[in-house]
Protein backbone atom coordinates (compact mmCIF):
# COMPACT_ATOMS: atom_id res chain seq x y z
CA UNK A 1 0.00 0.00 0.00
CA UNK A 2 1.30 3.47 -0.81
CA UNK A 3 1.34 6.41 1.57
CA UNK A 4 -1.48 8.88 1.25
CA UNK A 5 -5.07 8.24 0.29
CA UNK A 6 -4.52 6.03 -2.74
CA UNK A 7 -4.14 2.30 -2.39
CA UNK A 8 -2.72 0.29 -5.28
CA UNK A 9 -2.69 -3.03 -3.53
CA UNK A 10 -3.15 -4.85 -0.29
CA UNK A 11 -2.23 -8.35 0.85
CA UNK A 12 -4.57 -9.71 3.48
CA UNK A 13 -2.50 -11.99 5.70
CA UNK A 14 -4.74 -12.14 8.79
CA UNK A 15 -6.13 -15.58 9.54
CA UNK A 16 -6.00 -18.50 11.87
CA UNK A 17 -5.46 -22.24 12.02
CA UNK A 18 -6.83 -24.97 14.23
CA UNK A 19 -7.16 -28.70 13.80
CA UNK A 20 -9.78 -31.20 14.92
CA UNK A 21 -11.47 -34.16 13.32
CA UNK A 22 -14.58 -33.07 11.42
CA UNK A 23 -16.75 -35.30 13.60
CA UNK A 24 -15.23 -33.89 16.78
CA UNK A 25 -14.72 -30.17 16.10
CA UNK A 26 -17.67 -28.38 17.66
CA UNK A 27 -19.56 -25.37 16.33
CA UNK A 28 -17.27 -23.01 18.26
CA UNK A 29 -14.25 -24.18 16.27
CA UNK A 30 -16.10 -23.81 12.96
CA UNK A 31 -17.27 -20.33 13.92
CA UNK A 32 -13.77 -19.33 15.05
CA UNK A 33 -12.26 -20.46 11.73
CA UNK A 34 -15.01 -18.66 9.82
CA UNK A 35 -14.50 -15.40 11.70
CA UNK A 36 -10.69 -15.49 11.55
CA UNK A 37 -10.44 -16.42 7.90
CA UNK A 38 -13.61 -15.46 6.02
CA UNK A 39 -14.90 -12.37 7.78
CA UNK A 40 -11.45 -10.78 8.03
CA UNK A 41 -10.97 -11.28 4.28
CA UNK A 42 -14.35 -9.77 3.52
CA UNK A 43 -13.81 -6.78 5.83
CA UNK A 44 -10.28 -6.02 4.63
CA UNK A 45 -11.25 -6.28 0.97
CA UNK A 46 -14.24 -3.99 1.50
CA UNK A 47 -12.15 -1.43 3.40
CA UNK A 48 -9.50 -1.38 0.65
CA UNK A 49 -11.91 -0.91 -2.23
CA UNK A 50 -12.88 2.78 -2.08
CA UNK A 51 -9.39 4.18 -2.82
CA UNK A 52 -8.79 1.53 -5.48
CA UNK A 53 -12.10 2.30 -7.17
CA UNK A 54 -11.25 6.00 -7.06
CA UNK A 55 -7.86 5.30 -8.67
CA UNK A 56 -9.40 3.03 -11.29
CA UNK A 57 -7.04 0.17 -10.50
CA UNK A 58 -5.69 -1.98 -7.72
CA UNK A 59 -4.86 -5.42 -6.45
CA UNK A 60 -6.32 -7.43 -3.58
CA UNK A 61 -4.57 -10.54 -2.40
CA UNK A 62 -5.69 -13.14 0.13
CA UNK A 63 -3.87 -16.01 1.75
CA UNK A 64 -5.83 -19.12 0.93
CA UNK A 65 -4.64 -22.64 1.65
CA UNK A 66 -3.70 -25.75 -0.23
CA UNK A 67 -5.76 -27.61 2.39
CA UNK A 68 -8.86 -25.88 1.01
CA UNK A 69 -8.35 -27.55 -2.36
CA UNK A 70 -8.19 -31.03 -0.83
CA UNK A 71 -8.87 -31.18 2.88
CA UNK A 72 -6.69 -33.58 4.84
CA UNK A 73 -7.86 -35.44 7.91
CA UNK A 74 -8.26 -33.23 10.95
CA UNK A 75 -8.57 -29.93 9.10
CA UNK A 76 -12.28 -29.79 8.21
CA UNK A 77 -13.08 -26.46 9.89
CA UNK A 78 -9.89 -24.79 8.66
CA UNK A 79 -10.27 -26.15 5.12
CA UNK A 80 -13.94 -25.19 5.05
CA UNK A 81 -13.17 -21.62 6.08
CA UNK A 82 -10.30 -21.30 3.60
CA UNK A 83 -12.58 -22.72 0.88
CA UNK A 84 -14.96 -19.87 1.62
CA UNK A 85 -12.01 -17.45 1.29
CA UNK A 86 -11.36 -18.94 -2.15
CA UNK A 87 -14.98 -18.36 -3.15
CA UNK A 88 -14.72 -14.72 -1.96
CA UNK A 89 -11.63 -14.26 -4.13
CA UNK A 90 -13.50 -15.68 -7.14
CA UNK A 91 -16.52 -13.47 -6.52
CA UNK A 92 -14.53 -10.29 -5.95
CA UNK A 93 -12.34 -11.02 -8.99
CA UNK A 94 -15.35 -11.42 -11.26
CA UNK A 95 -17.15 -8.39 -9.84
CA UNK A 96 -14.13 -6.06 -9.99
CA UNK A 97 -12.38 -7.01 -13.23
CA UNK A 98 -14.18 -4.29 -15.21
CA UNK A 99 -12.89 -1.77 -12.63
CA UNK A 100 -9.28 -2.92 -13.24
CA UNK A 101 -9.01 -4.28 -9.72
CA UNK A 102 -7.32 -7.66 -9.59
CA UNK A 103 -8.12 -10.20 -6.90
CA UNK A 104 -5.94 -13.27 -6.33
CA UNK A 105 -4.84 -15.69 -3.64
CA UNK A 106 -1.77 -17.67 -2.83
CA UNK A 107 -2.13 -21.15 -1.40
CA UNK A 108 0.71 -21.98 0.97
CA UNK A 109 1.33 -25.38 2.46
CA UNK A 110 3.00 -25.62 5.88
CA UNK A 111 4.85 -22.39 6.57
CA UNK A 112 8.21 -22.58 8.34
CA UNK A 113 7.39 -20.54 11.45
CA UNK A 114 8.52 -20.96 15.06
CA UNK A 115 4.94 -21.92 15.99
CA UNK A 116 4.79 -24.68 13.36
CA UNK A 117 8.25 -25.97 14.32
CA UNK A 118 7.15 -26.17 17.96
CA UNK A 119 3.90 -27.92 17.03
CA UNK A 120 5.65 -30.43 14.74
CA UNK A 121 9.20 -30.86 16.09
CA UNK A 122 9.84 -34.16 14.28
CA UNK A 123 8.76 -32.92 10.83
CA UNK A 124 11.12 -32.18 7.94
CA UNK A 125 11.19 -28.38 8.22
CA UNK A 126 13.37 -28.09 5.12
CA UNK A 127 10.39 -29.08 2.96
CA UNK A 128 8.17 -26.31 4.32
CA UNK A 129 7.55 -22.97 2.67
CA UNK A 130 9.78 -20.18 3.90
CA UNK A 131 8.01 -16.89 4.69
CA UNK A 132 10.29 -15.18 2.15
CA UNK A 133 8.90 -17.41 -0.61
CA UNK A 134 5.39 -16.32 0.31
CA UNK A 135 6.47 -12.67 0.38
CA UNK A 136 7.97 -13.03 -3.11
CA UNK A 137 4.70 -14.46 -4.47
CA UNK A 138 2.74 -11.65 -2.81
CA UNK A 139 5.08 -9.01 -4.24
CA UNK A 140 4.67 -10.44 -7.73
CA UNK A 141 0.88 -10.59 -7.59
CA UNK A 142 0.63 -7.03 -6.25
CA UNK A 143 3.04 -5.68 -8.86
CA UNK A 144 2.10 -4.15 -12.18
CA UNK A 145 3.93 -7.06 -13.88
CA UNK A 146 0.95 -9.21 -12.87
CA UNK A 147 -1.60 -6.77 -14.30
CA UNK A 148 -3.17 -9.52 -16.40
CA UNK A 149 -3.66 -11.93 -13.49
CA UNK A 150 -6.98 -11.97 -11.66
CA UNK A 151 -8.99 -14.74 -10.07
CA UNK A 152 -5.84 -16.87 -9.76
CA UNK A 153 -4.91 -19.28 -6.99
CA UNK A 154 -1.14 -19.69 -6.91
CA UNK A 155 0.22 -22.65 -4.92
CA UNK A 156 3.31 -21.84 -2.85
CA UNK A 157 3.85 -25.28 -1.44
CA UNK A 158 7.58 -25.79 -1.07
CA UNK A 159 8.25 -29.51 -1.19
CA UNK A 160 5.33 -30.58 0.98
The catalytic residues are 78
Task: Name the nearest CA neighbour of 70 among 79, 78, 61, 81.
Answer: 79
Give the DSSP H/E element, type plus range, for residue 109: none
Task: Name the nearest CA neighbour of 141 among 71, 88, 84, 89.
Answer: 89
DSSP label of 71: P
Q: Diameter of the chain by CA atoms?
A: 50
Amino acid sequence: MQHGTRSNGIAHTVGGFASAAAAEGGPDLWEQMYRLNVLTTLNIFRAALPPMCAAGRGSLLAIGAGAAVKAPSGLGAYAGAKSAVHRLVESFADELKADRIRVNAILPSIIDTPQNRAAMPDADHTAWVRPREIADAIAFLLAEDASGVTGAFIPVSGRV
